[in-house]
Amino acid sequence: MNSKKHIDEVDLDISVADNVAVRPRLERMRFLEAGVEANLYRMLYSHGPGNGTALFMPFDQKSSEHGPGHEFLWERDDATAEEINLKGKGSADIRAIAELVNSGNFSGYVLHPGNIRQSKHLFRPDIPLIYKIDGHITQPLSAGIMSTAGTIEDALKYGASAIGLTIYPGGEHIKADLERAAEIIREAHKVGLVAVVWAYARGPGLDEKIQLKDKNGEFQGMTQADSLYWTHYAVSIASGLLGADLIKTKYPLKIKPDNRRAYDAYIDSLAKKNSSMIAYKYLEPKDAETALTMEQESLRASLVVQAAPYSIVIFSGGPKLPGNPTETLKKQTEILMKAGAEGAIYGRNIWGLPVKEGLETARAVNDVISMPEFHRKLTEPRFTGY
């Protein structure tokens, strides 16, 4: 793309085949420890959509991240106490999550330590478990760093295939945050667990206003935590600095009109030291109000994916979406798969629905991810037989 024209001023030629071809294949990731490779194989080829792609079900939001308010989304009508004890009372109930995971063709599921100890028996033992080792609570002032609540030993005890942890690039405690994450990842790799990193930029100037300056003077603004710049950077940190095997990141959204001045000012400041950084400005539409096309969305997402050439990259669904959740998720999934991503991790947009509807949405998303053009075929004899 011409770096002197905005993304909506050029004709884009998106090659899905090329985007998929430059992504890692398990047989090429020869640096993996044997146990890590085996667990990744289970997630990418033995469960879920397969063929080197993945769809995960996370349930780390209700226990701490956002609190139990998700329970108000829906309830089982006229359920008896016996039925509630068996299948739960409705949305954000661990028993309903188990029902979804056991029937929804997922590559794996995510639980916090407490839920694992209390409810692991509800889940099929063959489905890969990601042991989410840390978490935070929602409060007026962010803590800026996750609390490590679990242990590698417990992850092994409960038969986990992977540990999950979150980093906050841009956070106030980034030094301690990255050192904590690096230690957890080293210990996980020692015992053959896949290291899954939630790479979520956050902090002052990202989702909290700070003082910024441009040619028109000083002002208060935010550079937007889910912007292309921050998602691109977060994935690069998780892969290249920390060595994550699998990275979960936010879908890179267009800069909101209210944040455009702050974003441009920040990018301009970076470009004074490295002129190539100006590309982030041109990867936004010329007019902040202009919507991006699917091709433009795919180009931007492909940049995020390609920041991690040796890590599997999946995208989250973000806040519960308005309108028809199935059609919206299918569209987003098609965009990210055409960008070369290995898959998705959708929580509230699936378990925030009654179980029957959630299973229908999961099937629809699986159908997109399973399309032959997104397959990562393995060719080495040890993967295919002789």
| C-alpha span between 106 and 129 (Å, rounded) | 11
| C-alpha span between 8 and 288 (Å, rounded) | 11
| C-alpha span between 28 and 261 (Å, rounded) | 43
Report CA dihedral (232, 148, 131, 364) to the nearest 10 degrees.
-40
Q: Say if residue 109's pLDDT is above 70.
A: yes
* pLDDT for res 268: 96
Report CA dihedral (128, 337, 228, 144) to the nearest 10 degrees.
-10
* pLDDT for res 3: 64
Task: Quote the percentage of the chain above a pLDDT of 70.
Answer: 97
* CA angle (138, 167, 336) in 5-degree steps: 95
DSSP E strand stretches across 189-252: 194-199, 210-214, 217-221, 246-249
- What b/e sequence results for 222-232 when a residue is b if at least 16 CB atoms lie within 10 Å of its CB, and e otherwise? bbbbbbbbbbb
pTM value > 0.85: yes
* pLDDT for res 143: 67
| Higher pLDDT, residue 66 or 119 | 119
Rounded average pLDDT over 99-103 = 96
Q: Say if residue 235's pLDDT is above 60.
A: yes
Q: Say if residue 383's pLDDT is above 70.
A: yes
- Number of other CB atoms surrounding residue 81 within 10 Å: 8
Both structure tokens of 348: 């509230």
Rounded average pLDDT over 192-202 = 97
pLDDT-derived band of residue 200, with 50, 70 and 90 as boundaries? Answer: very high
At 317-366, the pLDDT tens digits run: 865 556 787 899 999 999 999 999 999 999 989 998 999 999 999 999 99
Q: What are phi and psi of 208, to 5 degrees?
A: -130, 135
* pLDDT for res 70: 79
Q: What are phi and psi of 40, to 5 degrees?
A: -65, -40
Cβ–Cβ under 8 Å, residues 365 and 329: yes
* pLDDT for res 320: 57
At 286-314, the pLDDT tens digits run: 999 999 999 999 999 999 999 999 999 99
Both structure tokens of 81: 């106490």
Cβ–Cβ under 8 Å, residues 101 and 57: yes
At 34-87, the pLDDT tens digits run: 999 999 999 999 999 999 999 999 998 767 677 777 778 878 888 889 888 888
Averaged confidence pLDDT in the chain: 93
| C-alpha span between 239 and 309 (Å, rounded) | 8
R_g over Cα of the chain: 21
- DSSP for 257-285, please give it: GGGHHHHHHHHHHHHTT-GGGGHHHHTS-
* pLDDT for res 108: 98
